[in-house]
Structure 1
C-alpha cells in the first residue's frame, strides 16, 4: 500500500514548487497559475527568495535579468511547461516535474537577433552561428536595424558605428559564451566593448553557492528594487523611474529579495515619467513650483547615445537647462550654476573641465532623484568621478555589505565591482571583508565576528577611493578589535 508521501506526490506533483511569472499577460498568467496551484505549486507575484521557477515569455524583463545575475537556484521555464504537465496530470498520469526541465527550459537567446563583426575565422563564425540558432535566436549575416545584438571583436568599423547609431546592443564574444554557460542571456552592460578588458563580465553571473550552514542570507529590506540595475549601461544600470518611485515611498511592501507590482515587468522606459516634487523654488509669476534642477545648466559627456538621451530627459523633466555643445556653457556662466555630468566609468583625469563647473556622475543624479532634492556634489564621495579604477589590491577580495539601504546600497554594490572587487549578497566564511553601515547590527555582523572576518565602516571604501589604493583595515574596524590580526596592512 502506498504511503501518504507517495499519495501526496502523485496527487500534487508540484508540491514544494513556488512559481513566479514574468512578461506573461495577466489573462494567461491567471489560468496558468490556477493549473500550477491545482498540481500543488504555490504562485507568487513577487520574485521572493523562496521562488524555485520563473515562468518567462520574454527575456527583456527585470525579473529575468535579476535571476540571470543573482539567482542560480531558480529555473527559468517556458509558459508551455505548466500546460504540458497539466495535460498529462488531468488525464490521470503520474508526472515528475524534473522530466520536463530540459524540454521546456526557456531558450538562452529567446527572440534575439544576433550579428557578428570583427571575427574573421570562418570556423569560429560558424560555431557562433550554430549556437545562436540552437539556443533560440536568429542569426543575421548582414547588420540591419532589426538586429538586437552585435557581437563585436573590435570596437571599430562600419558595422560597429552603425550599431552605435541605431541603439543596437554591442557586446564582446565573452557575452555569448558566458550566457551559454549560464543558460540565460546575461546583462549586456557587463560586456560593453568600451569597458576595460579586465572588467568584462565581472559581476554578470551569480557567485558560487555557499554551502549550507556557512552562510547568512541577505535580510536587509531593499528600498531600491533589483530591477533598477539595467538602465545606464557600462556597469551603472539604473532605471530612473524606479528610483523616483522608491524615493516617494521608500518602505518595501515585504521582506523579499525583490518585490514587483503585479504584472509590472517594464524593463526600460523611453524616458522617465515626471512626478510631483515635494518642494522647490517658486517662480515669481504664477507661483508654479519649479524642478530641483531649475537653476542649473548641464553638459552631458561620455554616455552612449541612448543613455545620453535618458539622462537629458531626466534633467529636462526637472527643469534643467541642457546644452549640446561644451562651449555653450560659456553663455550661462553668469546666470546659472554649471555642472558637467559624466558616466561613472570615466576617470576624473579624462573628464572635461570648465571654469566654475562641477563635474558629477550619473550616480549623483540618481541620489538627487532618490532624495527629491538638489544634492551638493561634495556631500558624498560617490557623487563625483573617481581618480583611478580598478584598484590592484582589490582583485580577489570577496566583499559583502550590511545595514545599508536605498541608493547607497545600490551604489556601493556597483562601486565594489568597479574598483575590482567581487560583491556578494551572501556572507560565507570564505569572504574577505564585511563593510557595515552604522550602527553595525544583525546576523551578518555576528557571523563575521564568529568567523574572524574583518568588519569595517564605509569610510574604508572612501579612503581606498581617495588614496587610489587599498588601505589597511585597522583604522576602520568598527567592532571586534580582535580582528586586527586579519587587518593586514595593504599598500
Structure 2
C-alpha cells in the first residue's frame, strides 16, 4: 500500500445507501485519508448516491453546484485500484462518477418537440443546445448514452414517461398509475446539470410556452461557471500562443497585437486569425463576468459585521469563508461596538446565556437595546438560501435544545429546501433519531401542513393559530394532484393511521423546544393539542405525553390506572414484612346459645379452613390443635358479603397470636371437660387431641 493517501482533503456523504454498505464505505474513505459525514454538511464535495429518491439528493441537485455524484460501488473500486498502486484520484473519481440517467427506466411517447416550442425553450440563457437536440432521435440517443433505459411500451414499474403531448392512451394510463409524465426538455437540462433532475419541475402541462426553468436553482451559477471555464481555456490557449510566438522569434508581432494603435499596420494573416478568435471571446467574457444579479447576490452581507462565539476552529473557518464570500465582515474583538450580529452555535442553544455572559457590559447593553442581534448559523444558511436577509425564529438561539433520554424515531413529510435540513438537525440535536423513510417502527410523523392548507383551514383551523407563525410558513414542493410530495404525504398519513402512529405539525417540535427552556430535562407536551395534532390513534387511552405513548406502544404500560397500581405495589414493599402471611378469615354471626366446647371447636374449625395446608394456628410450642364441628352446633356463616376471601390478606403479629391463645385458653378452662380434670391438689390435665380423633 502506498503511504500517500489519495483522499486527503476530500469530504464525502452517502444518501440512500444501506447501513452496512455505508459503514464499509466510511472505513475505506478514512483509510484513504478522506472524511465522510453522516449529515449533508456545507463542505461536502462528493455525494455517494444509492437512491435518487432521497431528500439529500433532491436538495443537492437543486441547490449545490459544488457537489459531484458517485455510484455506490465507486469507493470500493477506487480503494481496490489504490491498493494496486493507482494514485490518480481525480481520474478515478471521474471514472466512477454517477451516470446522469443510470438505472432510470422510462417510456418514450410522442417526444418530438415542435420547432417553435424548441426555439422558445432555447430562449433561456442557461440552455446551450440546438433545435436538433430536441428531435426524437437525438433525445433517445442522449438518454441511452448516459445509461438510461428507454422503451416505447409503458409498464407500471417505470420511473417516468417522457412526452411532449398530453394526450393518448399511454399518457392516460400513466396518469392512472401515478407515473410522472415529464417534458423532453428534462433530458436536455439533466445533461447540462450533470445529474438527473427531479421530475417535479418538468411535469408536462398544456402550456406550450412553459419554459420549464424551475427544475434547478443554480442555472445562473452554472452558466457563470461554464463561462469561467471557457475563459480559463482561452487564457491557456493565449499562453500557448505566446510561447509559440516567442519560440518563433516573433516578439514584435506579439507586441503589436497588444498595442491596438499599431496593430493595423503590423498584422499578418497568421496573427489576424489568432487575434480575431481571442479578441471576440475576451469581449464576450468581459460582458458576462459582471452580471447585475451576481453582484447583488454577492453583496448580501455588505455592511454586516459578525462576531463568532462558541464555535470550533474548523466551524469558524467555514462560517468566515461563507460570510466573506457575500461581502460580510468578521471581527474577533469582543469589545467592538460596531458589530451588528453575534453568532452562536444552534446546538448550544441552552447554553447561549452562558456563552454571552463573558462579553463586556457595553456589548451586553447593545444586545439588550437590540442594536446587536443574536443569531445562529441557521441565520447565515437561510439568508444564503433565500438570497436575502431573513431574520426569523429559525435563525435565533433555541434555548430548549436539551438531549432526550430516549431516542424516539421521527420521520417528516412535505418539507423541502433549507427547512428540511434544519428540521433534521434539530431532531438530531434533541437526541432523537431522524428517519428518512417511514415505516411501522417510527414513533412520530411531522407533516408540513401547507401541503393541505386549504383542507386544513376548513377542518383543522387551529393548526394555523400557533403563535410562532414563521415556523409554520414552510415552503412545499409543486402543489397539485400531480405533485410527488403530495401523493407521498397522503400515503404516509394513511400508513400512520394504519400503524397507530401520531401525525403532528412542525409546531409540536417547536413546542418541545419552547417548553424545555430553562429546564434541566426535556419537556414533552401533550400530543392531542389541536394546535399541532393532525392524527392521534384512538386504540388507546389518550396519553399525557409522547413518552407515555411510547410506553404504551412498547407494552411497558397499558394505561394510567395500571401505572397507579404499580406505584401502590412499589409502596407496599416498604411496609414491615410480617412473620407469616395468612388469609384473612371471616367469622360468622353467633346464633342462640352455644356451649363453650362447641364454640371452641367451631373457632378451631374456622381457623383450620382459613389457614389450609399453608399455615397452622400455633397454640403453644409443642401442640397442634384442630377443631371439628358442623353447622348443627349453632354456627351460622354470614353470607351478606360475597367478597372472595382469597383476596383478603392480613398480617399476623405477636400480639394477635397472644390474644388468640388467651381466648382459646379461656374457652378451654370454662368447658366441663376441663372442670372434671381438676385434681384435689389443684393441678390440671390438658386433654390433647390428635389428628384423626
Class of the TM-score when normalised by the shorter of the 2 chains: 0.3 to 0.5
**Highest RCO, 1 vs 2 (Cα 8 Å, sep ≥ 6):** 1
Relative to its length, the structure with more helix (as a share) is 2
What is the TM-score with the length of structure 1 in the denominator?
0.48
Rg bigger for which structure? Answer: 2
What is the TM-score with the length of structure 2 in the denominator?
0.35
